[in-house]
Amino acid sequence: MHGGHLWLTIMGLIIIISIVGLLIAKKISPVVGMTLIPCLGAMILGYSVSDLVSFFSKGLDQVMSVVIMFIFAIIFFGIMTDSGLFKPLVKRLILMTRGNVVIVCVMTALIGTLAQLDGAGAVTFLLSIPALLPLYKALNMNKYLLILLLALSAAIMNMVPWGGPMARVATVLKAKSVNELWYGLIPIQIIGFVLVMLFAVYLGFREKQRIKKAIARGELSETQNIDIHKLVEIYERDQEIKFPVRGRAKYNPYIKWVNVVLTLLVIIAMLVNIAPPEFAFMIGVSLALIVNFKSVDEQMDRLKAHAPNALMMATVIIAAGMFLGVLNETGMLKSIATDFIKIIPAEVGPYIHVIVGLFGVPLDLLTSTDAYYFAVLPIVEQTASQFGVPAVSTAYAMVIGNIIGTFVSPFSPALWLAIGLAEANMGTYIKYAFFWIWGFAIVMLVLAMLMGVVAI
């Protein structure tokens, strides 16, 4: 039966809304939801098991590198934690921020901005979450706030030409150079950075109030007004119990420096594109094991200690591959995207690009980045051009409206990575971050119209 266009849209919406809804309600585990629900949906439409197998292998191609990177990255950072690499770093961070929640928020946004310079979301989260999470825990801050601030600052940086979205836009508009497209967005990008910093300050004050109230209620121990050196002491004692230093680093201070150099080399290899992250981390893990642990037994023992974390998230990301595969290959995402445009009445023709831009973030939950740029953008562009809207304006409206939502969508493998690194829950995160991110995107789009970057 495979259903016509309409059936694909309806089924696609049912699959996505039920997965997102059940994740938010904490009624299913991600693996179960993202594996079974898409399969059921496809089979109701009349696809066979062999179709499903081919969808899965296509979806797997999209996420495989993230899975491999994730497994080795978690083990690598695990071994580095074993060697006590992050302790002095977090201690320094606590001293630098003086335990001030607002300063921590602003710093998080700055780190997210810088780490996203290479245009890879996964690398941003790998660099920042392991370093910042212990600081957030020491100050009783919400880990969802950490992900939200990184997601926002990284999304704005992601407008660079070597980020994914601009390259896709250039392909669709058959632009001569991605850089030319980007120059038009630079003013908005700069304003975006400033806004993120202001927003970080605002969220920081909100978080401070939340922690104060919780301390007053006796739910949390005092971390706000204590002497900073006391805070460092508490952190160090806490770490001693949870993560005692193991391996050679315990007896030999030089090993710590070898670990620092090794970590920097792995990071530089990724940022300068010498090697893809999965390759860099795999080599990194092998070297870290030799450097830190003498006997093979010890090496295997540490691998076993970090394997459960690594595998837990790897299974989730593979399940996301099933979800992506079914929705992409059956054409559900494409038809959701094209039907969305058809609903818009003819009178709004001249503003269609702005309207779609305003819905950019919710559309990111319903369509993958590819579907949004390769299916929605061409249709909106053709429709708007009949009303004399320049193609570039349409593209800008859609990029600004959508890019801020890059890291709130379950279609983003990098976001699953962030959720795993922060030991968080996707449903809780979407609930926490969605409206902040959507609001931010709308503000950016309105500013772009006022500045004339997006023509009306």
Q: Which of 181-190, 349-358, 363-372 has the lowest mean pLDDT?
A: 363-372
Q: What confidence tier does 181 reach under pLDDT thresholds 50, 70, 90?
A: confident
Q: How many residues does the chain have?
A: 456
pLDDT per residue over 206-227, tens digit each? 998 898 888 888 777 766 666 6
Q: Which residues of 61-84 are buried (b: 16+ CB within 10 A; e: fewer)?
A: ebbbebbbbbbbbbbbbbbbbbbb
Task: Determine the Cα–Cα distance for residues 448 and 69; give it in Å rounded to an integer.
Answer: 37
What pLDDT, on the 0 to 100 scale, is given for residue 198? 94
List helix spans (H) across 174-252.
Answer: 178-216, 228-242
Percent of the chain at pLDDT exceeding 90? 16
Q: How far apart are CA 107 and CA 101, in angstroms?
A: 10
Structure token digits, residue 286:
């092998």
Whole-number pLDDT of residue 283: 93
- By the 8 A CB rule, do 9 and 335 touch? yes
